[in-house]
Amino acid sequence: KAGVTQTPRYLIKTRGQQVTLSCSPISGHRSVSWYQQTPGQGLQFLFEYFSETQRNKGNFPGRFSGRQFSNSRSEMNVSTLELGDSALYLCASSLMGAEYNSPLHFGNGTRLTVT
């Protein structure tokens, strides 16, 4: 069974630009969640989608947005990039979601560098 796939693996962008990251969940998983990981803040929850609907949202500004398609694939968009957005962005898929004690299966992330 294929794991969670995130593309691209590495990305370099300039301040002010926008970026789209992609996540393909494990087949059959309907919940996809996104996280930002930085050395200073650790892992922080961005948002979760379930059956194409945003079900939960973390404390990030509106520049961070996402969506989920009917095949459960998800994209995350960051507009007007800032230097502080440089981070490892991880997505995780699960059958039902974290609150149902479902295991979270993480991808290997997209390393975003903003210059």
Partner 1 sequence: KNQVEQSPQSLIILEGKNCTLQCNYTVSPFSNLRWYKQDTGRGPVSLTIMTFSENTKSNGRYTATLDADTKQSSLHITASQLSDSASYICVVSATGGYNKLIFGAGTRLAVHP
| Chain contacts with partner 1 (rule: CB under 8 A) | 4, 33, 42-45, 47-48, 55-59, 90, 92, 97-99, 101, 103-109
* Residue number, 22 or 56, with CB nearest to partner 1: 56
Q: Shortest approach of partner 1 to residue 21 CB, angstroms?
A: 13
Q: How far apart are CA 37 and CA 43, in angstroms?
A: 4
Q: How far apart are CA 10 and CA 18, in angstroms?
A: 15
Q: How far apart are CA 63 and CA 89, in angstroms?
A: 15
Q: Shortest approach of partner 1 to residue 107 CB, angstroms?
A: 5
* Residue number, 13 or 58, with CB nearest to partner 1: 58
Contact between residue 64 and residue 75 where contact means Cβ atoms under 8 Å apart: no
- Closest to 44 measured CA to CA, from 59, 55, 32, 30: 59
Q: Shortest approach of partner 1 to residue 16 CB, angstroms?
A: 28
Q: Shortest approach of partner 1 to residue 6 CB, angstroms?
A: 8
* Residue number, 90 or 112, with CB nearest to partner 1: 90
Q: What number of residues does the chain have?
A: 115
* Residue number, 14 or 59, with CB nearest to partner 1: 59
Paired with 105 in beta bridges are 93
